[in-house]
Structure 1
Amino acid sequence: MATETKIIVRAKAKDAKFVGSSLGGAYIIITNKINNRILAEGKTSGSTGNTDLIMKVPVKRGNSISDERTAKFLATIDIDEPTFAQIKVISPFNNKQAQSIVSTELWLIPGKDILGDGIVLEIPGYIIDILKPRTHNYISLSSIKNKPFEIEANIVMMCGCTINKGGIWDSENIEVKAIVKRNDIHIRDVTMSLTETNLFKGNINITSAGQYELIVYAYDAKSGNTGVDKVNYVIYE
């Protein structure tokens, strides 16, 4: 006879909070490793969690870093014998350019629930969205001649948590640069700075027409978090 077994799965951004409803959730797939049958699947829902509890209180063995509102996926699985399972997290589910897949494997025992914090999988990185220039934008050279060409990107943690100067996620600790290429040749790196919450800006003088590619990256040496976004645009005579 199959026995109902419950398991909580959470996705937590590296050096940040949990992935929940405000970001569209993380997608969870629990699979039987022997026959690849999906035992449960769905998205995490709930809040990103208690900032003080997650980021400020020293973690001690046995103490929880989640509360009742913290985002989770609760799976109820019917199994009749110990089952070796893979748990896969796809996150952030609604931001494809920043999406990562993280997984782990464990034995599920009939009737032996895994609750509390549950299984927590860590999602490294940043979500970066280049706002200027737009993808495949056609821009006349005359309209930008003798004036700075603006580069803008919105950057958040993988849980959607905000980046500010001097905040918990301090922009001063994050290196943000734009790599500019023209006709597949690297022409310049541009340092970008925070101008308001999550928004980084920089500029460059463009003097030649061509097929341009812009790569914006973020890097935190202390946490090891990285993120990238790319756009292509055209400067024409």
Structure 2
Amino acid sequence: MKITSARFVFLLFIFAFTGLNAQQTSVMVRAKAKDAKFIGSSIGGAKIYIKNAETGEILAEGLTTGSTGNTEKIMNNPWKRNEDLSEEGTAGFLANMDLEEPVFVTVEAHAPINKKQATVVSSTQLWLIPGKDITGDGIVLEVPGFVVDILSPQTHERIPETNEVQITANIVLMCGCPVTEGGIWDASQYEVKALISSDGEQVKELNMKVGEKPSTFSVSTNLEAGLYGITVYAFDPVTGNTGVDKTNIIIN
């Protein structure tokens, strides 16, 4: 199709006008563990996506980086309206977008991104307005749960029937905050159990006790020869936080 000089000038004007109208808009997004602190570099961060809610187009993405924040301020001090919980250096992801018009977005946090058995998605939706920055605490997405890692026995480990099976797990909040006896995140508040199954049926349910090393829970048991699945779960009856990890072993 032939484009006349007048039409070309008109199209050029429209393109230039649209470009001039795009305004850089900064949006801070943070992920905060339920009943704990911000999710940052120490546990690998949260993966953040800002998407056009209508089309699914990703407008910005990145990892939250920085510290978990000020423990005293977040966990102990009374909170006042409009007061930021974050400080300089507190973990977050600052998205800088060129917006031409208001856009309705979905903001997602996949966290903690490096712990796949524990990663959950927290999301919200809102309008972003060109040139209207959202800073300070910004958009804070709460991430519930525990990160549970079975340390022993190892996956597919072969254990003699005559040996005790030592089940040990590491349990932290989603920010990596430690669980200790009498600590801010009190181990005595949590229910931690090992469920042992064989051929699809549960054969044992064992209470796990906190050890001297922070965040470590363990229990020992004996098993007959066979194939077993081990599930370790943590549950906080106060906050509803939960977490699970699984492994399989062979007793011969």
**Aligned counterpart in structure 2 of residue 162 of structure 1, from 178, 183, 206:** 178
Question: Do residues 205 (structure 1) and 222 (structure 2) align?
Answer: yes
Mapped to 2, the partners of 1:199 and 1:90 lie a distance apart of: 25
Where do 5+ consecutive residues of structure 2 fail to align? 1-20
Q: Tell me if 1:121 matches 2:141.
A: yes
2:117 to 74, 97, 104: 97
4+ residue stretches of structure 1 with deviation over 3 A?
Answer: none
The 8 Å contact of residues 183 and 210 in structure 1, kept in 2 or not, is answered as: no
Aligned counterpart, 2:106 = 86
Establish whether residue 108 from structure 1 lines up as the match of residue 128 from structure 2.
yes
Identity among equivalent pairs (%): 51
Where does residue 140 of structure 1 map in the other structure? 160
* AA aligned opposite 1:197: P
Alignment partners' CA distance in 1, 2:123 and 2:74 = 22
Q: CA RMSD in A?
A: 0.8
Give deviations 1:13-65, integer Å, cap 9, x for gaps: 00000000001110000011122111100000000000011001111111110
Q: How does 1:143-222 map to 2 (within 5 A)?
A: 144=163, 148-195=164-211, 196-206=213-223, 208-222=224-238
1:64 is aligned, of 74, 77, 84, to: 84
Matched with 2:41 is 21
- Rounded Cα–Cα distance in structure 2 between residues aligned with 1:214 and 1:12: 30
Deviation at residue 137 of structure 1 after TM alignment: 1.1
Distance in 2 (alpha carbons) for counterparts of 1:137 and 1:184: 19
Structure-2 residue corresponding to 1:47: 67
Given residue 123 of structure 2, which amino acid in structure 1 is its aligned partner?
S
Query: Per-residue CA shift, 1:136-183, capped at 9, x if unaligned?
Result: 1122224x1xxx321100000100001110000000100100001122
Contact 2:159/2:165 (<8 A) preserved: no
TM-score w.r.t. length of structure 1: 0.96
Instruction: Give, as a single letter, the amino acid of the residue that structure 1 aligns with 2:206.
Output: V
- Decide whether the 8 Å contact of 1:184 with 1:212 is kept in 2: no
Q: Which moved more, 1:13-22 or 1:133-142?
A: 133-142
Q: Distance in 2 between matches of 1:65 and 1:179?
A: 38
Please tell me whether the aligned partners of residues 118 and 243 of structure 2 are also in contact (alpha carbons under 8 angstroms). yes
Q: Distance in 2 between matches of 1:3 and 1:11?
A: 26
Task: Give the total of aligned pairs.
Answer: 231
AA matched with 2:132: K
- The CA deviation at 1:91 is 0.3
Measure, in 2, the Cα distance between the counterparts of 1:36 and 1:190: 45
Q: For 1:109-137, what per-residue CA distance to the aligned partner results, in whole angstroms no more than 9, with x for missing partners?
A: 00000000000000000000001111111
- CA distance in 1: counterparts of 2:178 and 2:202, whole angstroms: 31
Instruction: Flag the structure with higher strand content.
Output: 1
- Spell out, residue by residue over 1:60-116, the C-alpha distance to the aligned partner (whole angstroms, 9 max, x if none): 111110000100000001111110001011000000000001111000000000000
Task: Indicate yes or no: 2:2 matched with 1:2.
Answer: no
Provide the residue aligned with 1:223 in structure 2: 239
AA aligned opposite 1:218: A
Alignment-derived partner of residue 30 in structure 1: 50
Q: For residue 104 of structure 1, give the secondary structure of its aligned residue in structure 2.
A: strand
Structure 1: runs of 5 or more not aligned? none
Q: Matched residues in 2 for 1:34 and 1:129: separation?
A: 38
